[in-house]
Amino acid sequence: MINSMTGYGEAQGEGNGISYVVAIKTVNNRYFKNVVKLPEMVAFLEEDIEKLLRANLGRGTVNYVLRLKDASADALFAIDQTALKAIVEKLSHAGTSAGIRGTIDISNLLSLPGIIRPASPDAEKAERVRDVILGISREALAQVKKMRAIEGGFLEADLNERCRAMKQDLEHIYARRAVVMQEYAEKLKKRVDELLAHAELKLDEEILMREVAIFADRSDISEEISRLDSHLQQFAQCCRGNDQAGRRLDFISQEMLREANTIASKASDTEITRLVVDIKCQIDRIKEQVQNVE
């Protein structure tokens, strides 16, 4: 069963009087890439969250966002009262020395660097916060993986249907292969007979058979048909037995296209060419779909 790289999950929970909401969105990417957005007060969890994401998701771009709800001011930030007091005293002393009278607006002082800083939990509280947030993250990840599995089921059904269509076209090409040889031999004999009719000469059957044999060898597509059929079987097996099959499926689809191009270049028959065009259209669609397989 294959998985899609497209998914979304959201979960929320509460701990230490704060409500946490985790939202995880994933989209396709050739490699694993994560973008983690955390409030400053829980920035220490970034490494743990990244490990959790890597352990559960094979590849794709993962956008992880943690939001806080109903959090008190004490939980969000702290004011360095010692630094604030020192600044007020210095400003008051400077005003007195310069003979300036007035009031100090505390709100303006709060914008100074270092006065307001994110609240830093102690070791015990940090451990509780870690357990709560990672637990919520696992719930969101479970939803993401469920959605990716559902989307993967749709992808697998579409890919299998296209492989079945290619298999049918390939069978028609194989059946047509023998007919092409016979038609070529008949056309060649007829053309030569027409050219030699006025000269009252007779074509040597051995020479005719030799020319047909050369054409057959030059245009033989049996090996390419066999390899393409083998790729179709490998593709189906990979879909059934690997939940992170995206890269392998992409490689197999490239090999399919290679064999289809070779068949088209070697076959001297309009019907086979038409069937190969149909196969290449299916392969192109497969290559597009595979880009979203994990």
* Together in a domain, 228 and 143: no
- How many distinct structural domains can be found in the chain? 3
173 lies in some domain: yes
Q: Is residue 114, in this structure, part of any structural domain at all?
A: no
pLDDT in the model for residue 128: 85
In a domain, 116, yes or no: no
Instruction: Determine the pLDDT at residue 185.
Output: 56
Decide if pLDDT at 75 tops 60.
no
Q: Highest-confidence range of 104-113, 120-129, 177-186, 239-248, by mean pLDDT?
A: 239-248
Give the H/E segment covering residue 268.
none
Residue 222 shares a structural domain with residue 265? yes
Same-domain status, 265 and 282: yes
> Do 19 and 58 reside in the same domain of the chain?
yes
Residue 90 lies in a domain: yes
Mean pLDDT of 21-45: 91
Name the DSSP class of 78.
Answer: E
For residue 95, the enclosing domain spans 81-109
Residue 189, pLDDT > 90, answer no
263-278 mean pLDDT: 85
Q: End-to-end alpha-carbon separation of the chain, Å? A: 11
Average pLDDT over residues 92-115: 66
- Per-residue pLDDT at 25 exceeds 70: yes
Whether the pLDDT of residue 248 is over 50: the answer is yes
Decide if 164 is inside a domain. yes
Where among 97, 129, 150 does a domain terminate?
150
Q: In this structure, what CATH number is given to the domain that contains residue 12?
A: 3.30.230
- Same-domain check for residues 173 and 281: yes
Residue 46 shares a structural domain with residue 92: no
Query: Is residue 23 pLDDT above 60, yes or no?
Result: yes
Q: Is the pLDDT of residue 174 over 80?
A: yes
What whole-number distance in Å separates Cα of residue 159 and Cα of residue 161?
5
Residue 115 is assigned to a structural domain of this protein = no
If one compares 51 and 78, the residue with the highest pLDDT of the two is 51
Question: How much is the pLDDT for 104?
Answer: 67
Kindly tell me if the per-residue pLDDT of 265 is higher than 70. yes
The per-residue pLDDT for 73 is: 45
Q: Are residues 137 and 197 in the same domain?
A: no
Q: Using 50, 70 and 90 to split pLDDT, how confident is the model at 208?
A: low
Q: Which residue has the higher pLDDT, 80 or 52?
A: 52
Indicate whether 252 pLDDT > 80: yes
Report the chain's mean pLDDT, rounded to a whole number: 81
Which residue type occupies 77? F
pLDDT band at 273 (very low <50, low <70, confident <90, very high): confident
Q: Which residues are bridge partners to 67 per DSSP?
A: 21
Average of pLDDT values for 231-254?
88
Same structural domain, 85 and 173? no
Residue 182's pLDDT is 61
Average pLDDT on 49-75 reads 83
Residue 103 Cα distances to 72, 88, 96, 100, angstroms: 29, 10, 12, 10
Q: Residues 68, 187: one domain?
A: no
In which residue are the tokens 């298999």 written?
167
Distance of CA 3 to the CA centre of its chain: 10
Q: Are residues 126 and 228 in the same domain?
A: no
User: In terms of domains, do 143 and 203 share one?
Assistant: no
pLDDT > 90? residue 194: no
Contact between 263 and 224 under an 8 Å Cβ cutoff? The reply is yes
**Residues 184-204, mean pLDDT to the nearest whole number:** 55
Q: What angle do CA 149, 155, 161 make, to 5 degrees?
A: 140
Mean pLDDT of 92-106: 68
Q: Residue 230: helix, strand or coil by DSSP?
A: helix
pLDDT for residue 108: 64
Q: How many CA atoms lie within 13 A of 182 on its CB side?
A: 5
Q: Are residues 207 and 248 in the same domain?
A: yes
